[in-house]
Amino acid sequence: MQQPVEPFWRMKTLEQMNAEEWESLCDGCGRCCLVKLEDEETKEVDLTRLACRLLDVGSCRCSDYANRFEKVHDCIKIDAAAVREIDWLPSTCGYRLVRDGKELAWWHPLVSGDPNTVHEAGVSVRGWAISEAKVKAKNVHRYIIKEPVGG
């Protein structure tokens, strides 16, 4: 009898994953695409319910993923080094969970087999995020939130 094969995210570090594995670890919640405001003195980061102008808030996917760095000057590349340093990633983020040696949630597409479970579980920004393109820059502070939906 053949032993069950462990999923790649349990067997590999973030650095060992290939591009396909890395991309599949993203749960599609869209929370890393929320606009963040950093206090220059304290370095404290406030999260807003405003989404990057490239995020399709219905699908929670980037509308121009291939060109996002050229179109959005402050788009942050989420790679293994960034995941090890960024402390504002949501506690439910697949990259953060693997980094911390924790299990992926039941609703993660790699576990559920369905990319919609992240939305069904209420973890994504679908239904409550607003595109930053619809808000005047001087009003951004009005959209600060404590914690995104889903923890």
In a domain, 29, yes or no: yes
Q: Token match 């949630």: residue?
A: 105
Res 151 pLDDT > 60:
no
Report DSSP state, residue 108: S
Q: How many domains does the chain have?
A: 1
Q: What distance in Å separates the CA atoms of residue 123 and residue 110, rounded to the nearest whole number?
A: 15
- For residue 94, the enclosing domain spans 8-145
Res 150 pLDDT > 60:
no
Task: State pLDDT tens for residues 4-32.
Answer: 789 999 999 999 999 999 999 999 999 99
In a domain, 91, yes or no: yes
Percent of the chain with pLDDT strictly greater than 70: 96
In this prediction the pTM is 0.87
Q: What distance in Å separates the CA atoms of residue 143 and residue 35, rounded to the nearest whole number?
A: 9
In a domain, 151, yes or no: no
In a domain, 72, yes or no: yes
Select from 79, 112, 93, 89 the least CA-distant residue to 7. Answer: 112
In a domain, 2, yes or no: no
Select from 42, 29, 38, 47 the least CA-distant residue to 96. Answer: 29
Q: What distance in Å separates the CA atoms of residue 119 and residue 146, rounded to the nearest whole number?
A: 20
Res 126 pLDDT > 80:
yes
In a domain, 150, yes or no: no
In a domain, 3, yes or no: no
In a domain, 1, yes or no: no
